[in-house]
Amino acid sequence: MPLLSFLRTLSTAHGPTGGEGAVAEIAAQLLAPLCDEVTIDPLFNVIGRKQGQGPEPRPQLMLMAHLDEVYALVAAVEGPFLRLTQTHADYRLLVGQEVIVLGRRPLAGVIGDRPPHLMAAEERQRMPRLHDLVVDLGRDAAEVAAWVSPGDVVLVDRPFVELQGRRVTGKALDNRAGVSVMLATLQHLQDQPHACDLLAVASVGEELNLLGAHTASFRLRPDLAIVLDVTFAEQPGADKDKTFPLGGGPVLGIGPNLHPRLGEALAATAARLELAHGLEPLPANSGTDAWAVQVAAGGRPTALISLPIRNMHSPVEVADLADLEGAARWLAAFIPEVDAAFLAGLAYQLPTFDEAPA
Amino acid sequence: MTPLTTALLRRLSEAAGGPGNEGAVRDLIARALHPHVDALHIDAMGNLTAIKRGRGEGDLRVALTAHMDEVALFITEIDSNGLLHVAASGGVNARTLAGKGVLVGPEQLPGVIGWPPPHLQRHNNDESKRVPKIEDLVIDIGAADKEAAAARVKIGQQALFATRFGFLGRDQAVAEEAPLPQKGRIKGKAFDDRLGCAAAMALLMGPALPCDLHAIFTVQEEVGVRGALAAAEMLAVDLLLVLEGTVCDDLPGPVDEPRFPTTRLGDGPALTQRDGSYVVQAAVLQHLLRTAAAHGIPYQFKHPNAGGTDASGFGRYRATPTGILSTPCRYIHGPVAVAELGDFHALIQLLRAVLADEAALARLVGRS
Amino acid sequence: MQELVRELSTVFGPPGAEDAVRERIAHHVTPYADAVTIDAMGNLYALKRGDGSGRRIMLAAHMDEIGVIVTQVEEDGMLRFSGLGTLGRKMLLGQRVRFGNGAVGVISHNGGVKAEIVENETPDWPKWFIDMGVQGAAALPVGIGDVAVFDRPFVSLGRRALGGFDDRIGCAILVQLLRTLPASPHDLLFTFTVQEEVGVRGARVAAFGQDPEIGIAVDVTPAGDTPKQLTPAAVKLGHGPAIKIADAQMIAHPRLRRALIAAAQREGIPFQPEVLTFGSTDAAAIQAARAGVISGAVSVPCRYVHTTSEMIDFGDVEHAVALLTAFLTAEVDW
């Protein structure tokens, strides 16, 4: 299956933080033919295992990409309308947006706005506040009360669309793009031997509290980890310092959250492949699953590969397939290099000593 | 007599060790401790643990911990003019940066943090009162263009203040290889927390104590107690003592704005009752107070509720009895800090007194 | 039940100094538990064993309450302080605080009579002080590092009450549950935690150490049924306990949420779904312990949370006990 199909299938699936069950089933089905074994843990982390061919004990390499997507919640039902709360997206983008309310059954809705004719001049100059927004389900109050309760999830309703060239747009490319790269990497590795055991984890809860990254690291206790997530692509209005050209290749994170020698090894592989890639300086928290993975259950060398997208956390995220395919090629070339000697080489070493110990 | 020399404290202060880049500090500590301890090991995060077996009968284990890292500038971009753009790795005091010298990367290339001349700044608006944003500052290493800079510096490397260790208010020269003087003000960078590292080292380099002594030198405290978090799950000791170089703001403030110093220089080591992220168990605190009183060692309380330490990271999983002891340091998280050697030595004296009394320790941790 | 709430809600227990609360609760739970233990941080555990066919369930309520800590002593005997737990500065003026040794003081701020009475602004933290009514620092009965709670007497309003209920109401619910629970298939670990108000610290080590399969926090949640609330909130006083959907730090596990709702519906117990945009509970820490714990929370609606007059409705409290009883006596079907 081409990477495009993975991304299309995953982008349109429903998987808000804390409600990843549906997208987890889909991810598990996509992982199954590529792994020896796939399980879904009680928190809905999807864990695929693919055994390596190296001698035991084989290094355990965890690939991780988060499954969950940004969402809003129903705060209150007011007659036929819904008020909203707790959104990690930019709520201003919800004005004029079509949505799906995951009530007792999924319900389509619209978030509209007052007609500008009736607004005072001052009101026209500012955006509404989150609690000014109203979801219109087009149903009467009794019907809405029967189907929807406070706390139900509201997702934007956006199709996945191919644009010009190799670019695509849709919702939840953050981070279904990362999950797709993980799948494509495993596909490359079907006919390529690798020494280490692979643990492919589609994690939950990244957008809220890194719940899946933390708990899966405790469950699996891998020796090293590579996290896949998205980063900011260049676009008007975005600070050029913090963005990467769309189509300019995947991006390698660098900073205290990430292991320097693991990053260097990945960079060396990219150089060997002549694969263009960016370098993302992250002075402290990377803002990804890597932050939890690095220190959970004793800690481990951790790397981060990011895929530039435009309009992050909006209904119209844009990615370039070339970046995603590049990342998958990169990982597929790198993973066979990971063996016991490689892992040993990552360990921090004592200096050489002049005298014998006491 | 302290086993620490001036030269060793100088090397600790001057070593470059931003968060995630503590290798030089770690090597320095490991080399210094190697002849004095029974085991040294490093975990996946880069935390260094040194173990010195006790000479006592019991199996009591006490850990000292101090963090190796210091706040740093982190190179984020090399621009077309060969200037280095930076971000803060840890809580760097932005008010202190402009016009300072730095050392960049493993090659310790000298550079300066530039700032436009006053003639060219606008005085008619708030711009001149504004604290410069770190993103707006650049490091100039003298490179002519991007190519020249990139040949020597890489994105992700760190820049640290080019501050030399020394003594303040002392006329006589100090012999580098002689034991550290007992009193006097010292100045240097990274006292937070190289003074904690030095205190732990003093204990390990001294004579064996009754209990097994573990010293954990952690990484990445300044970006969120990351080393301690990673080490926390495996921590299996009866008592943990966190050693810090802590904030001290005992300078007088404006008349109409009363100041409440968190600690005072020269009043002895600062004991934490609780800080912003950890409550010290009453029994541990009482034990420290009793021991200090019994030996006539001065101490002060650190202003409660301020700041945080690796104690919160180590306390994440296991309820290990934990104490926090600090040497007060003025001006930390800036280019140059100042501390009082008397406070530092009193802290070591207090640690030694606590660790020497095995029976009292066993009672404290419920092992008697 | 009112008597138990009155007793527990007036015991001294700021974060990190929960000893008196722990003693009172231990006194109540010991006759009913199979084992009672205390960890090094001060968390109290009362284990009630099931018949071996069920799950290992942690029920958590926190013993600590909001308070203040003395940070500086002025020469004239005034105490400077900072908050323990999230405190609104607006509520401080004129409030009485009580220290562990019984000493009482009153809170005011710099500026004198005019500022106290007519000032519109809320002064910054360093401008507040506690007046212990002594002449000079030498006469002070307390010092730096001493902690105090707000004076919050229990006042019955009939069906409702005023007092300091966050989270002694949860403690009382767990005590009552333990006393009245019919046979349960599950191993139930009644956990009374420390230091929730300063970052769910007690629950974090409790859950790591005990490694439960399911975790439920019992705590208060702010009610949204007072005039002109700034944000829509659905929880009302007297309309039944709240079953947590989400708060600022966690999302309740859908299976547990559904099972709690099913238990309420089965027994005809009123309940309300809860979405909270700020704050969290011990459940956030329990959920992330080790490889993850299926976690949620049952909350008692409460008006004026983190003030000296928190208001609850005993109907909600009794229904919370009934809801948890219904859930805990049934099989867990996942």
Share of chain C above pLDDT 70, in %: 99
Option in A258, A295, A356 nearest B230 (CB): A295
Share of chain A above pLDDT 90, in %: 71
Question: For residue C245, which residues of chain A lie inside 8 Å, CB to CB?
Answer: 73, 150-151
- For C38, the 3-state DSSP assignment is strand
According to the model, what pLDDT value does residue A185 have?
98
- For A4, the 3-state DSSP assignment is helix
Q: What's the CA gap between B289 and C123, in Å, rounded? A: 35
The answer for A 11-70 residues in CB contact with C (under 8 A) is 17-19, 21, 41-43, 45
To the nearest whole Å, the CA of C208 is away from the closest chain B CA by 6
Q: What is the pLDDT of residues A28-81, one digit of tens each?
A: 999 999 999 999 999 999 999 999 999 999 999 999 999 999 999 998 888 888
Average pLDDT over residues C136-148: 94
CA nearest to B208 within chain A: A358
With a CB cutoff of 8 Å and minimum separation 6, the contacts of C206 are C39, C43, C45, C58, C60, C191, C193, C286
CB of B264 within 8 Å of any CB in chain C?
A: no
pLDDT of residue A224 exceeding 60: yes
Phi/psi region, residue A17 (left: phi>0; alpha: psi -120 to 50; beta: rest), is beta
| B178, burial (CB in 10 Å: exposed 0-12, middle 13-18, buried 19+) | exposed
According to the model, what pLDDT value does residue B93 have?
85
pLDDT of residue C2 exceeding 70: yes
According to the model, what pLDDT value does residue B124 have?
46
Do residues C294 and A42 make contact, with C-beta atoms less than 8 angstroms apart?
A: yes
| Best mutation target, C198, C286, C293, to test chain B (most B CBs within 10 A) | C198
Q: Do C288 and A211 touch (CB under 8 A)?
A: yes
Option in C249, C277, C294 nearest A85 (CB): C277
Option in C15, C70, C126 nearest B279 (CB): C15
CA nearest to A297 within chain C: C290
CB of C274 within 8 Å of any CB in chain A?
A: yes
CB of B134 within 8 Å of any CB in chain A?
A: no
How is residue B5 annotated by DSSP? B
State residue A293 phi and psi, 5-degree precision: -60, -40
Cα angle, residue A90 at apex, residues A88 and A95 outer, rounded to 5°: 125
pLDDT of residue A278 exceeding 90: yes
Average pLDDT over residues C245-271: 96
Average pLDDT over residues A160-166: 86
B255 compared with A168, residue with greater pLDDT: A168
> Are domains B6-70+164-364 and B73-156 of this chain identical in fold?
no
Strands (E), chain B: 39-42, 48-52, 61-67, 72-78, 84-89, 101-104, 109-113, 138-140, 158-161, 166-168, 185-188, 212-218, 239-248, 270-271, 300-301, 322-330, 337-340
Of A82-96, C49-63, C293-307, the poorest mean pLDDT is in A82-96
Task: Report residue C161 CA to chain centroid gap.
Answer: 16
Q: Do A85 and C232 touch (CB under 8 A)?
A: yes
Domain ranges across chain B = 6-70+164-364, 73-156
Q: Which CATH code of 2.60.120.200, 3.90.1150.10, 2.40.30.40, 3.40.630.30 fits the domain covering B73-156?
A: 2.40.30.40
Of A350-354, B118-122, C51-55, C155-159, the poorest mean pLDDT is in B118-122
CB of A128 within 8 Å of any CB in chain B?
A: no
CA gyration radius for chain B?
21
How is residue B93 annotated by DSSP? -
pLDDT of residue A165 exceeding 90: no
Of A81-90, A197-206, B117-126, C240-249, the poorest mean pLDDT is in B117-126
| Best mutation target, C225, C258, C275, to test chain A (most A CBs within 10 A) | C275
From first CA to last CA, the distance across chain C in angstroms is 33
Q: Do B317 and C204 touch (CB under 8 A)?
A: yes
Q: Do B223 and A254 touch (CB under 8 A)?
A: no
Q: What's the CA gap between C193 and C216, in Å, rounded? A: 13
Q: For residue A149, how many other CB atoms are within 10 A of its CB?
A: 18
Question: For residue B305, which residues of chain C lie inside 8 Å, CB to CB?
Answer: 69, 71, 82-84
CB of C333 within 8 Å of any CB in chain A?
A: no
CB of A56 within 8 Å of any CB in chain B?
A: no
Q: What's the CA gap between B86 and C301, in Å, rounded? A: 48
Domains of chain A: 3-69+171-346 (3.40.630.10), 72-156 (2.40.30.40)
Q: What pLDDT tens digit does each residue of chain B (368 aa) get?
A: 678 999 999 999 999 999 999 999 999 999 999 999 999 999 999 999 999 999 877 789 999 999 999 999 999 999 988 889 999 999 888 888 888 889 999 999 988 888 777 666 554 444 445 677 888 888 988 888 899 999 999 999 999 999 999 998 888 889 999 999 999 999 999 999 999 999 999 999 999 999 999 999 999 999 999 999 999 998 999 999 999 999 888 877 655 566 677 899 999 999 999 998 999 999 999 999 999 999 999 999 998 888 889 999 999 999 999 999 999 998 888 888 999 999 999 999 999 999 999 999 999 998 76
CA atoms within 13 A on the CB side of A192: 15
Tokens of B263: 């600690």
Q: What is the pLDDT of residues A225-265, one digit of tens each?
A: 999 999 998 887 777 778 899 999 999 999 999 999 999 99
Q: What is the largest CA-CA distance in chain A?
A: 86
Chains B and C form CB pairs within 8 A to the count of 59
pLDDT of residue C332 exceeding 50: yes
User: Domain B6-70+164-364 belongs to what topology?
Assistant: Aminopeptidase (3.40.630)
- Give buried/exposed letters for B142-166 (b at 16+ CB in 10 A, else e): ebeeeeebeebbbbbbbbbbbbebe
Q: Which helix (H) or strand (E) holds B289?
A: helix B282-295
CB of A5 within 8 Å of any CB in chain C?
A: no
**Nearest to residue C86, comparing CAs of C300, C247, C306?**
C306
Do residues C51 and C183 make contact, with C-beta atoms less than 8 angstroms apart?
A: yes
Task: Report residue C21 CA to chain centroid gap.
Answer: 12
According to the model, what pLDDT value does residue C232 have?
65
Active site residues of C: 196
According to the model, what pLDDT value does residue B40 have?
97
Cα angle, residue B29 at apex, residues B206 and B50 outer, rounded to 5°: 65
**Nearest to residue B101, comparing CAs of B139, B148, B152?**
B139
Averaged confidence pLDDT in chain A: 91
The verdict on ipTM greater than 0.90 is: no
Helix A173-188 to helix A321-334 angle (10° resolution) is 40
To the nearest whole Å, the CA of A215 is away from the closest chain C CA by 4
The sheet carrying A317-320 orders its strands as A161-162, A167-170, A317-320
With a CB cutoff of 8 Å and minimum separation 6, the contacts of B225 are B218, B308, B309, B310, B312, B313
Do residues C81 and C146 make contact, with C-beta atoms less than 8 angstroms apart?
A: no
- For B205, the 3-state DSSP assignment is helix
Q: What's the CA gap between B201 and A69, in Å, rounded? A: 48
**Nearest to residue A267, comparing CAs of A277, A259, A257?**
A277
Give the CA dihedral B175, B178, B180, B183, nearest 10 degrees: -60
CA atoms within 13 A on the CB side of B30: 22
The answer for C 128-147 residues in CB contact with A (under 8 A) is none
Option in C233, C252, C288 nearest A75 (CB): C233
A partners (3+ CB pairs within 8 A) are B, C
Q: For residue B176, how many other CB atoms are within 10 A of its CB?
A: 12
To the nearest whole Å, the CA of C284 is away from the closest chain A CA by 9
Domains of chain C: 2-65+164-328 (3.40.630.10), 67-150 (2.40.30.40)
C partners (3+ CB pairs within 8 A) are A, B
Do residues A300 and A293 make contact, with C-beta atoms less than 8 angstroms apart?
A: yes
CB of B42 within 8 Å of any CB in chain A?
A: yes
Q: What is the pLDDT of residues C70-102, one digit of tens each?
A: 999 999 999 999 999 999 998 999 999 999 999
β-sheet bridge partners, residue C59: C190, C216
Q: What's the CA gap between B34 and B31, in Å, rounded? A: 5
| Amino acid at position A252, single letter | L
CA atoms within 13 A on the CB side of B14: 13
CB of C280 within 8 Å of any CB in chain A?
A: no
